[in-house]
Amino acid sequence: MITPSFVRTMARYNSEMNRRIYAGAAQLSDEQRKADRGLFWKSLHGTLNHLMWADRQWMSRFDGWPPNTVPNSESPTLFDDFEKLRAERVAADARIEDLAGRVDQVWLNADLVWWSGAAKKEMRRPKGPLMVHFFNHQTHHRGQIHAALTACGVDPGDTDLFLVVPPEA
């Protein structure tokens, strides 16, 4: 069962891992961040942008954020400037943690109805499993980023949840 505690833990993990990944990416030049590294979204920069795009898209559904104005296919170009992207990431993570602090079991059990551009149809699913998808998507692409940073000689540090986020008090 997906619980509010799980959502809060994953939001804290998300924020900390993004801090580590962005600190690692900041050690590279803009040219290195934007080089095609064979990732699904090509570059580190493109993948970081895609994550921001996806988080905005889901948070527009979960918490009323403005929806994206560019399609998913253009998500790697959301922000050209790394420092602007990084600042937006910090702000987004704070807002994700804020939502996590407000989530209760009733909210998690309720259905979300939205138009899915990926499925090309209206969807209805309980919010709890959608929150799992939200966090899994982040972890999936951050894993790609972590591997690419490692290949560039940058060590972003531990990624294991139990080493990154202490248990909730």
- DSSP 8-class letter at 39: B
Judging by beta carbons within 10 Å of its beta carbon (0-12, 13-18, 19+), is residue 148 exposed, middle or buried? buried
**For position 2, what pLDDT does the model report?**
93
E-state strands within 40-129: 111-116, 121-126
Q: In the chain, pLDDT over 70 holds for what percent of residues? A: 99
Kindly state the tokens that stand for 118: 């990926």
Residue 107 has pLDDT above 80, yes or no: yes
Instruction: Find the helix or strand (DSSP H, E) in which 60 lies.
Output: helix 44-63
Nearest to 127 by CA among 140, 138, 141, 113: 113
pLDDT of residue 154: 96
pLDDT in tens, 129-167: 999 999 999 999 999 999 999 999 999 988 888 888 887
pTM for the model stands at 0.94
Ranges of each domain in the chain: 4-164
Q: Tell me what pLDDT residue 169 has.
A: 58
Q: Which fold has domain 4-164?
A: Four Helix Bundle (Hemerythrin (Met), subunit A) (1.20.120)
- What would the pLDDT profile of 55-94 be if each residue is shown by its tens digit? 999 999 999 999 999 989 999 999 999 999 999 999 999 9
Identify the H or E element spanning 25: helix 4-25
What does the pLDDT look like over 19-47, one tens digit per residue? 999 999 999 999 999 999 999 999 999 99
Nearest to 15 by CA among 120, 122, 135, 126: 135
